[in-house]
Structure 1
């Protein structure tokens, strides 16, 4: 049986305005470079301007004519999210693709966002959901494809309904899974509501498998002064082809965001053993993402916590 090609051709994206979070390093920078090379006008909302400037330089090395710009964004602050939403709305240009790729994982102890939410839940899910809400008029105008990057961790654990901010019995990896399951359920509910109300938006999910990305490195901004313990093993297994690479980890999101046709409500990830690595492909959503009642429940919880209201029609 022939092996599935690891990479794939991205269609011409000239004339498409794309917003990508988490595009300043790691697999996000790989995604950004591929999108810019395909002709997209790329907007990178970033928390760290220095990393953003370095990303622009890297992108222009590969695509000298690329149209790429930065915006200020701290996903752990709903005030910052609202501000970038206001900035982009004032520019008035439709958004054709939004990829919610930014995320944090495994702070050494419980931390909170500026608004008091558990840091992973507030950044990975609530910040992105609020951003989508603030940009909804532009997404509707562009009949946008929204792709939310979840994680293989969404195939374990559950949404902590009774304690969504993990104020009792904190477990860092449990909170990470919780944030990614909620994010996935929200994305699928966004697609369902868009179809029902005629918003013109399609939303889908992707996951990168497991690869030695910057998510595992020293992250002083979350208090992690050393790399995740499994970083060395993951790097070794990536080198021998069992796990993915930084380059391959971004491919499912690229496939989800750029494949022509109606890709709404779908899930993309690596095709290898247990989805750990390999070529990107469409997959069946994880069991924790299939409950429509849970998706509606996350949608309502998200609006209540962020105070960002989506239209009902």
Structure 2
């Protein structure tokens, strides 16, 4: 465990960066939370490589500012930057945003679930009444993926489309630190995750949920050649820590890297040729390497000895039930 943690806390320099990214012309990306932090850095890298990027967030003003910043940095790019207004903490905003996207694009090559929230004020809820972190970091991305599933599959079927080039990236965290045993505390009576009452623990439950969703989605789209991975972007300074206690923010400011490093982790998952179809379901660690999921969490991705559902499948089914009213 110690070696695994040290390997993620002090990773080697990134090997896959903007310097060796191939041209992304004609490829279409959706990046949630792309107006700031890691997402903004990822958008900068992809736009410089001529990609078409939909920056998905709830603030049109922030998207406009991000687009202006990116275009100023890369005036010679042949890429495109487009807004996609949605709020992952409000499920009813997701389908309209997807319908808007589908009227504009016939393909979707990569979906990156970068947006998230961490340690909000106690008792914070989504518009539908779910705990804010699990709702924003897991339920919202699940619904967005479900709504975009057919377009992802259609893109993977395009003539001459390389197998494994269509991808979904689920941003998790360093789950070996802070996650409860097993990753998610499950309430069998309710068939739902059980809140611990501790903000960081519930944050980690949601992030383990992302790993479960990445693994479950990988199984469902294996035949299509779509790759689904989860990513620990690394310890980086972003707006995500804005709700953390002051002392913790000071420590983070000293120890954490700039957001571009986290973007390299996500870039590896989204675009690296090393992430082959056989690697679908993998857990990516900083700054773009294959990592190992802790044993107790990996165990939750396996069916029980008597054939009962895995914890990961239970979490997937819970997400499906909670989002059925927002098809």
TM bucket, shorter chain: 0.7 to 0.9
Q: Say what the alpha-carbon RMSD is for the aligned residues.
A: 2.2
Residues 73 and 188 from structure 1, CA distance in 2 versus in 1: closer, same or farther, beyond 3 angstroms? same
Give the deviation of 1:51 after TM superposition.
1.1
Whether 2:29 is the aligned partner of 1:11: answer no
TM-score normalised by structure 1 residue count? 0.84
Alignment of 1:183-194 (within 5 A): 183-194=210-221
Alignment of 1:225-240 (within 5 A): 228-238=246-256
Q: Unpaired runs of 5+ in structure 1?
A: 218-223, 239-243, 271-278
Residues 50 and 176 from structure 1, CA distance in 2 versus in 1: closer, same or farther, beyond 3 angstroms? same
Residues 286 and 165 from structure 1, CA distance in 2 versus in 1: closer, same or farther, beyond 3 angstroms? closer
- State the 4+ residue runs in structure 1 displaced beyond 6 angstroms: none
Residues 46 and 308 from structure 1, CA distance in 2 versus in 1: closer, same or farther, beyond 3 angstroms? same
- 2:202 is aligned to 175
269, 283, 299: which is aligned to 2:316? Answer: 299
2:234/2:265 contact within 8 Å kept? no
Whether 2:56 is the aligned partner of 1:49: answer no
Provide the C-alpha distance between the structure 2 equivalents of 1:213 and 1:132, rounded to a whole number of angstroms: 24
144, 150, 168: which is aligned to 2:172? Answer: 150
2:213/2:316 contact within 8 Å kept? yes
- 2:159 is aligned to none
Provide the C-alpha distance between the structure 2 equivalents of 1:176 and 1:185, rounded to a whole number of angstroms: 14
2:51/2:80 contact within 8 Å kept? yes
Q: Unpaired runs of 5+ in structure 2?
A: 1-10, 157-165, 303-309
Deviations 1:72-126 (A, max 9, x none): 1100111101111222223351100010000000012111111111111111000
Provide the C-alpha distance between the structure 1 equivalents of 2:224 and 2:129, rounded to a whole number of angstroms: 32
TM-score normalised by structure 2 residue count? 0.81
- Counterpart of 2:290 in 1: which secondary structure? strand
Give the deviation of 1:199 after TM superposition.
3.2
Deviations 1:229-273 (A, max 9, x none): 3111121124xxxxx332212211110110123241112112xxx
- Counterpart of 1:186 in 2: which secondary structure? helix
- Counterpart of 1:152 in 2: which secondary structure? coil
Residues 74 and 309 from structure 1, CA distance in 2 versus in 1: closer, same or farther, beyond 3 angstroms? closer
Provide the C-alpha distance between the structure 1 equivalents of 2:252 and 2:141, rounded to a whole number of angstroms: 28
- 2:40 is aligned to 29
- 1:274 is aligned to none
Provide the C-alpha distance between the structure 2 equivalents of 1:104 and 1:54, rounded to a whole number of angstroms: 21
Deviations 1:3-40 (A, max 9, x none): 95435222221111001101100111111111111111
Provide the C-alpha distance between the structure 2 equivalents of 1:309 and 1:139, rounded to a whole number of angstroms: 19
- Paired residue total: 285
1:20/1:42 contact within 8 Å kept? yes
Whether 2:226 is the aligned partner of 1:214: answer no
Deviations 1:32-74 (A, max 9, x none): 1111111111011111111111110111122223311001110
